[in-house]
Amino acid sequence: MANDRRSETREGAHVLIDTYGRVATDLRVSLTDRCNLRCTYCMPEEGLQWLAKPDLLTDDEIVRLIDLAVTHLGIEEVRFTGGEPLLRPGLVGIVERVAALEPRPQMSITTNGIGLKRTAAALKQAGLDRVNVSLDTLRPDVFKTLTRRNRHQDVLDGLQAASEAGLTPVKVNSVLMPGLNADEAPDLLAWALEHAYELRFIEQMPLDAQHGWKREGMVTAQDILASLRTRFELTDEGEGERGSAPAERWLVDGGPQRVGVIASVTRPFCAACDRTRLTADGQIRTCLFATEETDLRALLRSGASDEEIAELWRKAMWGKKAGAGLDDPSFVQPDRPMSAIGG
């Protein structure tokens, strides 16, 4: 029965199905583990031991694996992540080559926005569809405390450049931290509405390199919604509109603009997950919180055929667990931090 289910097709391509019937159509591709910020919830101030260049997938290897995923495995959407993906020298060329694939996947990027002012137009021309930009605060001093860098204005300029280039809808991801920016939810939403950005709050997840995450005191989805409702009327958009998207969304003051909350910790959405993840060094991860990986790089560099690589990818996803297990007392935080995994 397992082999029968793995052989199901979508428009002639084998799909990445798991034992719970979930089909992965969304590929997250980490292009680098490096970052030009040092966010407190991600990595220590001194940074991390970066991957050696020979361990990273080359541009050609990345494009080949994405091509394989699209043509052999039913992938419909590709999200480029990092670290900070704009630090990848060949990014524009990778986007252009993926845009030429048949069928063409939807393409987006998750970035801290610092390099967007100089790259937004080129990325749009190459074929990128939209961007997700991380910005946790409207206060430059708080930004400096959170990221250990004085680059707040660069992010704001990057957001404007993305909007002007047509990389829309421009989505803004915000993480609220106790004692730093936990009071900013209403101000962030008012600002996002003013600029026509789609704001999404994300609960802090246990993916920091320091393993300092604590559930106690975490700013939860419930806290965020209560704060937003002190200034705005929120109407639940409903599960029917959400689909497999990680964000629960609410219409703001009757709409049409919306705000989202990704409650990975307190309201996990694992049952509808449609994602598969490729790290910058060519490992398949079935979940952000997975403690195991499957090495595609070694197979790729050994001269394996596309079908051999695709079959290993299928087997990896077939073993995907039911959920992240954050509420399980036996939960173990992954050794690899978010910068290596790709958010």
Q: Which residue has the higher pLDDT, 212 or 61?
A: 61
* 41 annotated to a ligand binding site: yes
Question: 35 a known binding residue?
Answer: yes
Confidence of residue 20 (pLDDT cuts 50, 70, 90): very high
Q: Is 336 annotated as a binding residue?
A: no
Q: What is the model's pTM?
A: 0.90
- By CB atoms closer than 10 A (0-12, 13-18, 19+), residue 328 is exposed
Find the mean pLDDT for residues 23-52. 84
Q: Is 205 one of the annotated binding-site residues?
A: yes
Task: Of 10, 109, 142, 80, give the one whose Cα is nearest residue 278.
Answer: 80
Q: Is 39 annotated as a binding residue?
A: yes
Q: Angle between the 185-195 and 221-228 helix axes, to the nearest 10 degrees?
A: 70
Mean pLDDT calculated for residue range 77-91: 95
124 a known binding residue? no
DSSP 140: H
Does residue 324 surpass a pLDDT of 70? Answer: yes
Domains recognised in the chain with CATH numbers: 16-340 (3.20.20.70)
- The pLDDT of residue 319 is above 60: yes
110 is in an annotated binding site: yes
Is 42 assigned a ligand-binding role in the annotation?
yes
pLDDT higher than threshold 90 for residue 155 = yes
Q: What is the pLDDT of residue 323?
A: 86
Nearest-angstrom CA–CA distance, 59 and 4 = 34
Residue 330 labeled ligand binder: no
Whether the pLDDT of residue 11 is over 50: the answer is: no
What is the token pair recorded at 217? 């005191």
Averaged pLDDT for residues 251-262: 95
pLDDT of residue 3 exceeding 80, the answer is: no
User: pLDDT tens digits for 200-252?
Assistant: 999 987 665 555 556 667 899 999 999 999 999 999 987 655 556 788 999 99
Mean pLDDT of 59-84: 97
- Ligand-binding annotation for 145, yes or no, is no
**What pLDDT does residue 36 have?**
87
Least confident piece of the model among 159-163, 209-213, 283-287, 288-292: 209-213
Confidence band of 163 (pLDDT split at 50, 70, 90):
very high
Q: What is the pLDDT at residue 214?
A: 67
For range 248-271, the mean pLDDT: 92
Backbone phi and psi for residue 107, each to the nearest 5 degrees, phi listed first: -130, 135
5 in a labelled binding site: no
303 belongs to an annotated ligand binding site:
no
The answer to whether the annotation marks 166 as part of a ligand binding site is no
